[in-house]
Structure 1
Amino acid sequence: MALKQSVPGENAAGGKPPGSLVFSVRTKGLVVFGALIAYAVIIALFVFHQKNQLLRDFEEIQKSLEVDSMLKQADTAAFHAVMGVFANVDSSDRQAGMQRIQMHYQILRTKHAELQEAVPAFDVRLDAADAALEEAFRDASRENMSQLIVELIKTKNEFTNLAEQSQQARSRMSERYRMQTDSVAMTTMFLGMMGLALLGTIMALFFKQLTEDLRTLQQRAIDIVNGYRGEPIPIRRHDEVGQLMEAVNSMATALDKREKELIVERQKYFHQEKMAAIGALAAGVAHEIGNPIAAISGIAQDMRERREAGLGFCAEDYCKDCRPDLIQAQAQRLAAITREIQEFASPQPAEPQLLDLNAQLRSTTSLIRYDKRLRGVELRLDLDHNLPAIDGVADQLTQVIMNLLINAMDALESVKDRPPTVVISTRQEGDRVCMAVADNGSGMEKDVLERVFEAFFTTKPAGKGTGLGLSLCYSIMKNHGGSIEIESTPGVGTQVKAYFPLNET
């Protein structure tokens, strides 16, 4: 598992998803206005449709009235025909009587024809009456005249029944027309009220959400001013307010990034100040204890020379267990440690210069060996003796080495089943130099590995780590034009590789 880190903290949270549509507040207003117009058009179309239906029903009622009038006229004509037959059944002038009957019957036929033309479905037939009239013309006997009267009365009864049915149908149509009119009025009023209610609800929800989002923005702006850099505002809208939320999120992310970079830069400055203070202290300590160490070493050397020359008390038997060589060896060791501290903490130029990476590693590891966390830990150096010089700042390079070694030592604290080991190696890879710090410690899970370079991210308990170590290493390597990679396997170990570009000049 390997991680090559890009610039930490550059992903601005809270952005709109790719391909999402952006609707401005003005566009939303136009959409609502368009929907309102469309709704009004639908209501108008409904009203016009119902109006046409009502007009058709009204025309049917009018036609029913006309048919009813024609039926009454036909019924009256049939009645007059019957009365004409009654009036002329015993007429002395048969020819004149039959002509009067023929005249009344002709009126009946005319009204019957008008009904058939107006109502094609008209089913009253005059066939039987026509036959009875012909028979009466042929033989104007009382029997034939009586048969004609019977047929005419049947026809009249049919007209009467049809007229009653027409009236009943017209009554039903009138009732339906009234109910339909009421229904259209109620439906139109309901649709209008529902549209107003829906519009009011949409406007209330819109302005409620807008007010809540603006309050959220106001509160987050106050929080940002007060130093809050937590989770970004969730963006649920894609208009000007959503763009403002995204801008506030981006601002908070940018401020957080700048603050972390500032803290890292301050850590670099504090490191330089600390190294300068340690250097001054080391110089003072070396000066104060240098003379006693030199005196002790001189006395031990004198004792050793006297013993070898057989002079003074050092030659007596009771002084034979005295070991001035051991005193001198330990004094020389103290002097070497003092020199290492002095060399490590001596002021270094703040500007980049050609450096011997192997020398920096030896100097740093020689001092850090005295850390109690390295007791029982095998620290090996596998350095390429032909390694070319790199261009860098000595203090910052020392800081990278120390941070990586401290992380390795912390990772080895939980190792019990194998000898804890840290291996530092250097080699040239093409046009860059690689420094690798490997340990066989606890390793890191994938989710931890993905965040190791984030400022203030740490898995160490409170008070033991700040989460700035690897972030500072990343910043220093970036300023040196290099890069840093981490390979880690849980339960196996971790290897950190720092790459330095070679000076082409």
Structure 2
Amino acid sequence: MDAPGALTAAESGMPRRRRPARLHWPRTLRGKGLLALGAALVYLVAVALHVSQQRDELNRKVGELQVLHRYERALARAEVAVYNAGLEVQEAAFGPIDGGTPVSRAIALAIESATRSLDALEEHETGSVRRVRAVERAFQALRAAPLRANWLELREALRRVQEDLTIQRDRTAHEREALTDRYQQVFRELTLQMYGLVLAGFLVFGAGVVAFFAHLTRDLVRLQQRAAEIVRGERLPPLPVERDDELGQLTHAVNRMAEDLDARARQLELEDQRRAHQEKMASLGALAAGVAHEINNPLATIAGIAQQLTALDAPLPVAVADAHGRQLLVETQRVAGVTRRIADLAAPRPADLPWLDLNAMLQPLLHFVRYDRRYRRVEFVENLAPALPAVRALGDPVELVLMRLLAAIADAVAARDARGARVLVATRAVADGVELEIADDSAAASAAPAAVRSSDERALD
């Protein structure tokens, strides 16, 4: 908390410090695609700028080569013009010379052509002015006094200029060769750089694309497998969400769907168990009359013996008392057996998948079916395998199905109202579990359980 009387940044006039903006990566697949496209475009622009700089370097080299080429041509023209002028001067220098004879027009034209060629070199070098002045001074001296010495001086000046031009031409040729080699080297480097940059960009971008789609494919396969697991009814922990894009939202949706389906399946399972228990209790209520008859008979016997004992005035003989006691024990055991079967049948089953003994489940059911007065004329024949393996299933649904099947077949047999009607109940072990058979001697048994088969197959499965 701020101290009392303290001023905030806004009240004190001080500028409020701004938090640096955080870089947010795109969360959608479209945004990631646009980001990848933007990165590729930036890379291409950077490569284009680099190539443009290298191309400017190549253009400068080409310009220098063109300048050297023009310089070489000017040197060649100047060298030819100076050489021709030198020949004219040499012929005149060794011919008959008269001190009063002026310089011929041919020599004047040759000297003029040489000086013009030397003037053309001025844009390429500064030494051409010196050569032109040397030739012009020698030529002016010759024109002023056409003596042999002046002719030789002009010839010597032209020879020095020609040697200088030859040296300059050789130097220029070497420069051109070096510049050509540099141009070729820069061109090769630029070509290799272009190939390297294109290959590096392709590899990096391709590796990123491959990694992105590999991750995307892995997540899609994982979602596909989880969807198949949900269809099969498997209950597994939720998938970890590692993405913030549409696929991550889809993973959240699949996890929520799995949780909702799991909760709904548990609710349906509880409802099935509750319904099975209620139907079992209803079946017990339907059998209550027969069970009451089975209990009333021993109770009536016990009551009769008690009345006889209370009506006696004299002590009973030991033999009579022993007989009455044995009869009472038999009747009480009979009542206890009936109540024990009722308690076993009415007890709720565990919610998980326990191991069930099918024979132990069938025997109390057959006892209660026999208590029903409707099936007094029906004989239930048991052919239960002695070494039947246990099965893993929910007890209440299986027990309800067995009661329905027994009741349906017994109703069909009892409806014929024929003596000697028999219902066979047999169990046997098979390769992948156990097999139960409830059959009648007639064809009525095949059609009787059809009404309950559709609703009972799911519980048996």
Decide which structure has greater helix share. 2
TM-score computed with the length of structure 2 as normaliser:
0.45
More contact order relative to length (CA 8 Å, sep ≥ 6):
1
Larger-Rg structure = 2
